[in-house]
Every structure is written in C-alpha cells, then in structure tokens.
Chain A
Amino acid sequence: DGGITQSPKYLFRKEGQNVTLSCEQNLNHDAMYWYRQDPGQGLRLIYYSQIVNDFQKGDIAEGYSVSREKKESFPLTVTSAQKNPTAFYLCASSLGYGYTFGSGTRLTVV
C-alpha cells in the first residue's frame, strides 16, 4: 500500500542535542512538507520541497533544517537552536490535490 511513513513515533531528546525525524513516501509525490502541531493549535509550516534538491522555508523554519536528496525522502533535523522543540511533527506529501499525512512523530525534550 502506498503511504507516508514517519519514524520514530515517539522521540525523547535532551536539551542541546540535534535530532532527525524521518519521512519516507512511496506515493511518487513531488511535493513534501513538514508541519508542527502544538496542543490545541493548528498546523504551522516548517519547510516544504516541491522537487528533489530544492526546498523552501515555511512560517517557522528557525531552528530546523531539511534535505531532499531523493524524491521519496524528506528528513527534518530539529537543531539545538530551536527554543521550544517539544511538539507533534507531521510530514505530508501532495500531488497537488490534497495532502496525505504521515502518522506523525511526537518529540519531547527532557
């Protein structure tokens, strides 16, 4: 079955550490996105990529980095520069009609 796989589902990080969240899709979608969701809030765009080897900052890119070396993969690195990283991170892909979301990674800084 086609879909988006995010791993891990839960992640704990110590303050000052970088951590990378995985996002893989087998839908052959060109566009991929990373969103952050905080409790009781909507989705805020971190980064997006419309083609391989190209990506753009979203509304809250500070403290995050991405790469898009393959069409299927769009990993997100949460760096130590991100002041408040504890959140639910959602990866999505699209062919231009609607988003398909992964099941998310819940990151907690301890």
Chain B
Amino acid sequence: GQQVMQIPQYQHVQEGEDFTTYCNSSTTLSNIQWYKQRPGGHPVFLIQLVKSGEVKKQKRLTFQFGEAKKNSSLHITATQTTDVGTYFCAGVNTGNQFYFGTGTSLTVIP
C-alpha cells in the first residue's frame, strides 16, 4: 500500500541552528501538505505544494516538492523556541486520499 515516510523522528537543535525534515512517498503524489502540531495541541495547516519542483517560503520556513513529486522537505532557518513542535507531511494521491507521515518532533534548546 501507499506509504509516506518521514525522517528524522526526533531532532534536537540549539536555538539559531537550522532544521530540516524530509518526506518520501512510495508513489507519485498529486500534492503534499505540511502541518505543525505544538505540544498538547492539534495539527495546523501550514502549506500545500502542487507543482513538480515547487519551492515556497514562509518567513524562515522553506518548503520544497521534488521533481518526481514523490518527496518533500521542510527547512527552518535559524530556529527559535517558538518553532518547537511536531511537523507532519501529508501526501495526497490522485484519488484525494491523505497519507500522513509519522512526524518529526523538533526540540529547540535555548
């Protein structure tokens, strides 16, 4: 069956360091979405990527969608303590079915 793998599972960084999480799908995706879940909270939609090779930025966050539309990454530049949380990707196939990655839990050490 279709799977979306996400690595790493956990990441600890010093405040000010960069952070990257990666998603890989076993099949070609229609689009990929990214969500952030703060500790004790619920996932919040961040962005959707649709086009092959697409790159989008939100302040210090950079999202990329691979050329083959099977992988994606989220990069945070100069992390801050407000970036703490779990970041999930969700691959969406051509049948509009969502497949969530297992998430990357980010800890930022002040």
Q: Give bound CA distance, A17 to B98, whole Å.
A: 31
Could you tell me if B35 and A99 are in contact, using CB atoms closer than 8 angstroms? Answer: yes
Interface size on B, residues (CB 8 A): 19
Q: Binding site of B, secondary structure by majority: helix, strand, loop or mixed? A: strand
Could you tell me if A90 and B42 are in contact, using CB atoms closer than 8 angstroms? Answer: yes
Chain A's closest residue to B46 (CB) is A98
Could you tell me if A42 and B33 are in contact, using CB atoms closer than 8 angstroms? Answer: no
Contacts of A41 in B (CB 8 A): 102-103
CB distance from A48 to the nearest CB of B (A): 9
Chain A CB within 8 A of B73 CB: no
Q: Give bound CA distance, A41 to B41, whole Å.
A: 14
Q: Give bound CA distance, A42 to B96, whole Å.
A: 19
CB distance from B73 to the nearest CB of A (A): 17
Could you tell me if A42 and B100 are in contact, using CB atoms closer than 8 angstroms? Answer: yes
Could you tell me if A104 and B45 are in contact, using CB atoms closer than 8 angstroms? Answer: no
Could you tell me if A99 and B43 are in contact, using CB atoms closer than 8 angstroms? Answer: yes
Chain A CB within 8 A of B109 CB: no
Chain B's closest residue to A101 (CB) is B42
CB distance from A65 to the nearest CB of B (A): 21
> Besides the contacts A43-B100, A90-B43, A101-B43, what 7 more A-B pairs have beta carbons closer than 8 Å?
A41-B103, A42-B103, A43-B43, A97-B48, A99-B35, A99-B43, A103-B41
